[in-house]
Structure 1
C-alpha cells in the first residue's frame, strides 16, 4: 500500500524551461516528477532524489550541491478516486511536499517506460498550464515567482 505522503519535484534549466513527463497510465496527463515515500520515516529530500532518478534517470547526487531545493511548501489534496486502490482502505487524502531541481542545460532524460511515455522541456509559464494537476502548475509558478 502506498503511503499518503509524497514529493513533487519541478525540474528546470537555467533558461526557465521546465521538464514535464506524460503518464503511461493516462494519455495527455503531463506532470512534474512525483512519488510517495517508501517508508514513513524516509527523508523527504531522499525521496525526491530517488523519484527523480527512477522517473527520469537524472542522478541528483552527481549534480552540484544545492541543485535540489526544498521549497518549504506542502499541500493536502484529495486522491483521485480511480487511484485510491493503491492506498489503505479509507485513505482519501495525500500530503505533497514541493521541491525544485536545477539541472544543466544538456541534461539527458531517460524515462521509466512503465510510468511515463514522453517528456518535454517547456517555458515555465507554458508548463504550468499543461500540467493536469492545478497544484503542479502552482508549484511551477511559485518556483519562478521566488527567483
Structure 2
C-alpha cells in the first residue's frame, strides 16, 4: 500500500521528526500555523512519501511553500525530475527578492512568485492528493533566484 502522506518541516523540531500531513484539513492547519507563527518559521519544506526515493534515501523532489501574514500571499518552489526547478507565477509587478524562513533559515523564492493564500492552499492539497505530482492550479515558470548559485538557493 502506498503512503500518500506529506512530510512537513518548518520548525527546528521538525527537521528530524517531520509533521505528517494526510488530509486537506491538515494542510489548512499547517498553512494556518505558518501564518500564526514567528516570522522565522513562515515557510515549510515538504516531501511526498508517495514519490520515489533515489540513492542513499534522498527524495527525487522538494516543495517549498512560504507565506506572508502581512501581505496575505504565498510562494511555491518545486523541484521534480520531470520538470526541473519551477516556481509559482505571481501577478505582474509582484515582489522581487522574495524570502521566507524554514526553521529560522532564510530561503529565497523566485522573483514575482507570490500568489494568493487560497491558491497556495489549493496547490499543497493537490500535491497531497496526487501523490506528489505537479499541482495544476497555479501557473509555473522556471525557478530563477536573484543570484544563481548563492547559498540560500533551496536546492544548492
Question: Shared fold (TM-score greater than 0.5)?
Answer: no
TM-score (norm 1): 0.30
Q: Which has the higher contact order (CA 8 A, sep 6+)?
A: 1
